[in-house]
Structure 1
Amino acid sequence: MKLVTTPRTEFLRGIATEILHNYGRGRAIVAVDGTEESGRAAFADDLAAVFEERDHPVFRASMRYFQRSRVEQAKFGPETAERDYRHRDDYSALDRVLVGPFRLGGSTGFVTREFDPERDAWIQPTWLTAPPDAILVIDGDFILRPELLGRWSYTVLLDGGAETPADELYRAEVRPSRLASAVIDDTDASHPQRRFFDSC
């Protein structure tokens, strides 16, 4: 379906063109990082819509649905920014039911949501399949941390938005702007702008 042309849509089309130029064949995973206040989920939704506009198969997921239960998180100590950053998300589950199966291709099924953090309960799995050429767009906190980078084909960092203490810890330790394929200022959501950094 043709999207209404706006400066935001045109910007996202440019990002999608870049991704499809490099990863248009086979399975690719695009990861969108940034604080919750940065509009990360909406940006990921809108980027996925641009792929849909081009009739390129696309799937959406979010790290918020791959968290550990409250009981599991409590095993790592009291609730702190450190615990939130290091132990909230379940990367083993992410690999087992989403990233691994999606990358395998073929008819292997994958799940885009495993755990509901609001209800603190497991979600009845809905197994999906994808064609040989497909993109998965996933958003989440701390998604550019070094131990996750090998999973993603292309990465976006939304710069800006209020930070939690866990966000501050992440930024100080990882400096994600150095790792992202594209750093984007989405403060004015109607006119996102790409940021470039002098490597010298």
Structure 2
Amino acid sequence: MTTRDALLTHLVHAVQSLTHPARVAVDGPPAAGKTTLADELAALLRGRGHPVVRATIDDYLHPPARRYARGEFTAESCYFDTHDHRRLSREVLDPLRPGDGVLIVDGVFLLRPELVDRWDLSIFVSVGLDRTVERAVVRESPTSTRADVERRWRERYLPAQRLYFTRDAPTERAHIVVHNDDPRHPAWTYRNGASSRPHRTGSSVNPADSPHNQ
């Protein structure tokens, strides 16, 4: 079993032991690997017979006029004005009823005060912020120049992540932190007392917190 397989097995067991419906957040910086991890987890759960709904915060954006009212290249506009959390709650989080399956939502800023108490299990995908820039350059190369990507990251997304860490301490709020600098060999730690909870059990790997996002 590879390290990533072991991680996914831990996550599957954590979700299976929750009372359903289960709302699962996969948070982390842009280009950290959130969507990939959420998709892999969803596929494994479906393979074990669990009905899974997948959603992403990026489907719940405010209109551009609101998103960029404070300026396009500011941390505040990215953190405060990008996503419509009320609509996410109304259309995705609130409709779940007892007996429903698993909802997995990926996206940035999912452990902010407006959302942190909505999750039965929260996973934070931690990556060195400079590493996300290089990943983004590769990912967005078909549509953007390196200079454009680097500007968006260094003037908007990364300052917004630093603001998020200062305001909300997401790695302290998450139940599980996945250290994903090497996606093939991730490490993970239980946070927020999760390892002592009967419904969120498992051994932790690499107990030192990642320094990259601090």
TM-score band, normalised by the shorter chain?
0.7 to 0.9
1:30: which partner in 2? 24
Aligned counterpart for 1:19 among listed residues 9, 15, 22: 15
Aligned counterpart for 2:58 among listed residues 52, 59, 64: 64
Conserved? CA contact 2:174–2:191, under 8 Å: no
1:44: which partner in 2? 38
Conserved? CA contact 2:3–2:184, under 8 Å: yes
- Please state if 1:145 is matched with 2:112: yes
Task: Compute the displacement of 1:198 (Å).
Answer: 10
RMSD, aligned α-carbons: 2.0
Task: Compute the displacement of 1:15 (Å).
Answer: 1.3
CA distance in 1, matches of 2:76, 2:8: 34
Unmatched 5+ residue regions in structure 1? 106-131
Task: Compute the displacement of 1:34 (Å).
Answer: 0.5
Task: Compute the displacement of 1:6 (Å).
Answer: 4.0
Conserved? CA contact 1:7–1:190, under 8 Å: yes
CA distance in 2, matches of 1:134, 1:40: 20
State TM-score, norm by structure 1.
Answer: 0.76
Task: Compute the displacement of 1:43 (Å).
Answer: 0.9
CA distance in 2, matches of 1:46, 1:72: 33
Q: Secondary structure at the match of 1:35?
A: coil
Q: Deviations over 1:172-195 (max 9, x none)?
A: 111111100101111111122112
Deviates more, 1:59-68 or 1:187-196: 187-196
CA distance in 2, matches of 1:198, 1:145: 15
Aligned counterpart for 1:77 among listed residues 64, 70, 80: 70
CA distance in 2, matches of 1:67, 1:35: 17
CA distance in 2, matches of 1:198, 1:89: 26
Q: Deviations over 1:2-40 (max 9, x none)?
A: xxx6431232011110221133xx211100011112111
Q: Deviations over 1:87-108 (max 9, x none)?
A: 110011111211111x235xxx
Aligned counterpart for 1:10 among listed residues 6, 17, 40: 6
Aligned counterpart for 1:155 among listed residues 115, 122, 127: 122
CA distance in 1, matches of 2:47, 2:71: 45
2:169: which partner in 1? 175
Q: Secondary structure at the match of 2:122?
A: strand
| Poorly superposed stretches of 4+, deviation over 3 Å | 196-199
CA distance in 1, matches of 2:128, 2:24: 21
Unmatched 5+ residue regions in structure 2? 131-157, 194-214
Q: Secondary structure at the match of 2:102?
A: strand
Q: Which amino acid aligns with 1:8?
A: R
In terms of fraction of residues, the more helix-rich structure is: 2
CA distance in 2, matches of 1:55, 1:197: 28
Conserved? CA contact 1:63–1:89, under 8 Å: yes
Aligned counterpart for 1:193 among listed residues 178, 187, 191: 187
